[in-house]
Every structure is written in C-alpha cells, then in structure tokens.
Structure 1
Amino acid sequence: MEISPGNTTYWVPKYDAKMKPTVGQQFKRLEDGIEFYEKYAALVGFDVRRSGDRKNKVGKVLHKYLVCSREGFKQVAYLEKRETSETVKRRRPSNRVGCGAHIKFNTIGNGGYEVTSFEERHTHRLCEEQSKPFMKVNRKLDMGHKDFIEKCGKVNIGASKSFNLYGEMVGGVEHVGATSTDFKNHRRKILAYMKERDAQELVAKCQERKEYWPDYYFEYAVDDQQQLSRIFWADEHGRKSFAHFGDAMAFDATYKTNRYSLVFVPFTGVDNHKKSTTFATGLIAKEDVESYTWLLHHFKRAMGGEPICTTTDQDPAMKIAIANVFPTTRHRYCMWHIMTKVSDKVGANLAKNDDFRRRLNDIVWKNNSTAEEFENDCVDFGYLHTSPMLK
C-alpha cells in the first residue's frame, strides 16, 4: 500500500516480476497480450474489463485498452414518469470507485502489439486469497461443467442443486471454478435453445427408438396450431407385461406437467408379486372425450386387445371413451376416489362418527363379497336408502 502526497491511498500488487506486464513488452497477437494481462489480474486479485479500441478501415485493431473492473464511476440512470415530467433516480449498486489501473496495447511495424501504457496501482483493496476463485476472471464453464449441467437437467435437477452437487464432488464450492449464477445462466441458455425445438426433439428421439426397436410403439398428434397435443408410447417391456398381467388395468390423469401443462396418463397394472407395473404412458393437452378416445385406441392397437376390467376415477370423459373403445371391458370406479367423497355425501357430523366409519369400512372393504351379500349388509347397516352413493 502506498500513500500519495495528496493523501490518496494506492494498493500496489506484489508479485513475481515475470508475471507482471511492462511497458515495451511485445506480443505477436493481441489475444496473447490480453490473455497475459487477464492471468496477471487473476493472480493478483482484480477483474478486468475491456474498455475500448480503435480500428483502421479494414477492421484491424490499432489501439486496445483494458482496465480494472472498478475503473470510472457508474452513471446514474433516470426514469421519467409518464404522467408528469418529474424524473426519478434509479439506484443501482455499483462497485466502481474510479480506479485508474489499466493497460494499453498499440500495433507495431511487424504486425504485433506492444504495451505502451501500464498502471499497476489500484485505489481499492485487492481480492483476498480465499475469495479469488469467485472472481469473474477466474470463473469459466468448461465442457465438464456444461456436460454435468445438461445431465442434471435430464433428471430434473436444477442449476442450484447441480452447483452444490458439483461442489461436493470436487471438495468444496471454492474448487468448482464457477458460481451458482454461472450454472443458472448456462441452464437458461439451454432452455432458451430448446424452447422452439423441444417437441421436435422428443418426437425425433421416440421415432429413433421406434426404428431400432420394432416392439417400441409410439404415436403423436398435433392441434390446429401445429402444437404437440397428444403423445402415446409403450416399450417392449410394457407390452409383455400387459400380455401376462393385463386382465385388470387402471389409468389416472391426476398429474400435470409444470412447464407445458400436459396431463400425464400412465396405464398401470399389478404383477404376480403385487407390485405395480406400467403398460404404457400418454400425454394429452385436454382431458376431453376425443383425447381419451385417441389414447385408448392406440393402447388397444399396441397391446392387441383390451383388459377385462378397467379402474378409473369418476371422470365422465373417461367413462364415455372407455365405453366406445373398450366395449367388452368392465369399467369400475376407484374405491379411493369413492371413499374420499363420503364426507361430502353424508355430512361432516356423520363422517366424523367413528362407529359409522368402522361399520362402513367393514362392508366396503370386505373380501369375496357378492353383489347380493353387499346389498344385504347395506340393508342391515340401515344406510342403503339414505345414501345415493351406495345405491
């Protein structure tokens, strides 16, 4: 640190003279000189900003200025009110303190560049050693970073969690070589690139699988605006599972994707180990009869038949579509959806009655009960004629 006669405090970096630029130093290319100064700044502890240049008629750079990132002062931005002529200052934080540290490159006769001006003194403290990894000049996303972010994105891991995971892998966030903001910026670029191509990429990927795996079934449809509106796919494992365990099937449209507002429709069964197995999957933009009919039609084509029994929620569109496409299938409502509506049917007071709940569950969840036995139990319960749910 030096103090000038005018009581101005300067910070002068103390580093290896071989790493410090000097007036008269020459470089064959301008990029070599810029790279040398940026490495010097990274070691010393300040960021570099490219201030300006001057070019000739053919576009060759004659003079090039690089300054400390805290050079100059931030100009105050003004906002004009639309209704009045009053102007309001927009306050934005700035780290500029009028630092004069800089370097200037000029062309020389042999086509190279020479350092003609170099100021190493700074009017602010330099970055401490433990904070240097987070400086802009030391932050760079290489191919390893980008590939890791893209792979995390495929499994729905966001940029912030990707940064933390990478930090755990390399022994701390200070060893990542980038910041969480850098990860977010690259993730945003990926999403911007995919914005107009994601649907086409999905279709192309599925078409490629269909070409290499003949047992892979895939179909899609677009709406009037040529937007992807329906997708159906079933792989070879799902089709084999349906051949063995397809007597009873359930499909539900409860889940909806966040970004595209497409309804996720899985077709699910139960194997011999009482474990869920997926037969096929669909995505639809609208929960209407036409969309469900389209899905069930392709399900029937992919599986070569229809299930004996199908269980769904109480969606009227599903009921119509199943009757049209699966004429021989027994359609039943999901018991969970039925039991969740007990409180609405019988009222809050009776729904909270423990004795009522216990007797109702004994009837509803009784195994191996015929229709006649079920109705007799309801008559004994005394609730059959008072509840439209059990009629």
Structure 2
Amino acid sequence: MVDLSIEALLDYQEIVSKTFRSEKEGYEFYNNYAMEKGFSVRKCYMERDQTTKEICLRRFVCSRQGFRAAKHMKKANKKRKPRDISRCGCAARMVIARNKEMGLWYVKDFIDEHTHELAASDLACLLHSHRRISDEQKADIIEMEIAGVRKHQIMNILEMQYGGYDKVRCVSRDAYNFCYRYKLGTIAKSRQERDPDFSFKYLIDEKGHLKQLFWSDTQSCLDYEAFGDVVVFDSTYRTKGYNLPFVPFVGLNHYRSTVVFGCGILSNETFEAYEWLLQTFLTAMSQKHPISVITDGDLAMQKAIRIVLPSSNHKLCNCDFTESMLDKIGCSCCKL
C-alpha cells in the first residue's frame, strides 16, 4: 500500500506541474493518460475570457462523471431504445487554465479517484475517446465499401488484418459512421458538380453527430430572387425517424403555387440554432433580406429574426396547423 501511495503521489506531482501550448495539447495528454489507466475522457465545462471571448479554462472529466439527466429517463415518447446507463458520478477530472502573460496552459485542478472499475489494458483502446480510424484504415474501408463488402464483414477483415480488435482500435459503429459521412460528402460533391449553385451546409458536434443542416439548389435561388419578398417558415413538423425539427423556407409564385426556397433540419429549437439557420439561408440567397417573414410564435425563432433580419417585417400566424405548410400559406390570416 505504501508503494502504491508513493506512486500515486509522484503521478499527481508530475501531472500538476505540466504546462501545455494549447487546449488541444492538454486534452491529448489527459486522454493518453486515461488510456494507460483504463478510462475514457470527455470535454465538460469551459469558461471564456470576457474581453477576447477566447476559452481560458477547460475541464476534462471521466466519461462516467455525473448522472444521466432525469428528463431523459422519464420520456414517454422515446423513438429509439435508450442507451445503457454508464454514468455513476465519477469525480476524476483535470482542469486546465490559460496564463495570459505566458500564453501557456497549466493544470489548475486534478483528481484521480474513480468510483468504478477501470478497463483492462487490452480493452481501454476501445473506449469512446480512444477509438480511432487511421488514414490507412479509411482507405481500406472505402475500397471494400466500393467493392460491395458489408460493414460487419469489413470489421472482420480489419480484425484479421491487424490481429485483433485491440489493434484495429475501432468498432463496427465507427465503420458505419465513417461510411455514412463519406457517402454524405460524396453525394454533396456530386450534386454540386451537377448544380454549381447547390448550397449544402451542416454542423456536427464533438462526437460527429449532426446538429444543423441546410440545403437549397439553383431553382430555389431563382425562385427566391423572383418571389422572395415574403417568406413563410416554422419548425412544427418533424422528421419521422429521429424526431428532429424540419424547417422549410417557402413562398408563393405568380401562380399562387408553393415554391421552396430552402430546407433545414435542427437538433434543437434554440436561439443559436435558428440564428445559424437564418445566417446560412441568407448566405445561400446572396444576402437578400425578405420584406416580410411569417412564422409561428416560437420565442427563440422571434429573437433570431430580430437579430439576423432586423429590416424584415415579422408577422405571426395564429392558425392551428395540422396538415402541411400548404395549409399555412393558404390560410385566411396569412394572405400574401
């Protein structure tokens, strides 16, 4: 026990005396340390400098830190099977802060006490923050995907090629996600080659999950140039598979037929999400602001419109929509 205590003390003193040139370097150090010990890391709390708005403090925690929020446990209308509960209130963390004068990051706080068993050395590389797909593996996966090899077969081939999953350092889900992102980029590139004015933009989070998405094509831009004085949009309707808000930008042409100026998908209905969507919409439409915008009464949407479209007249539609956006455009209180 004495030897273990001395070893732990030496590790603590070595870590708290560390300095890093960037936040990324600090994360990579703690993540490598976590792999040696047998746990996974995620980025948690951060603080920004009030003047420069740059990150000045960042907290890295064990992936099993905290507990799952009660609101996620009590949802009655879940679309997907809930994930296994992994958080158990682990207190392990490393906090780094930036020294303005020196321009270096130093360790402000470090706790190495876990409330769970640590993974074995041969399994730690399969924990979430340690999984990687190398460039060589990506090239192999693309070649096998083009040849028509199934995803689970790709993983079996990689396992045989590298001599075990611990040598591959990724799991089947990583291969599926990589193939999906590769196809997404290929489709977007192919569409832009056929349609040079096709606009396609999206945001992902730190885990590679889709946050926001917007797209429009040449015909949408032409329609907006001619009929974009009045734009109607809301996020009442959601996609069937993932229950995400779907936001179409629509209007009426000279035949009073519906025309679509663009479409968006959001992961949440916050001010930041709507602000990004409206900014992206304006960029695709050459910064032409509509004269009037008609929406529902969402407060986050209203705030984003005031910031991004300050010169546009914002009107609310009081109708009860049950079918589609066509009902909204044709309703008596939204006569264009």
Q: What TM-score do the two structures reach when normalised by structure 1?
A: 0.43
Larger Rg: 1
TM-score by length of 2: 0.49
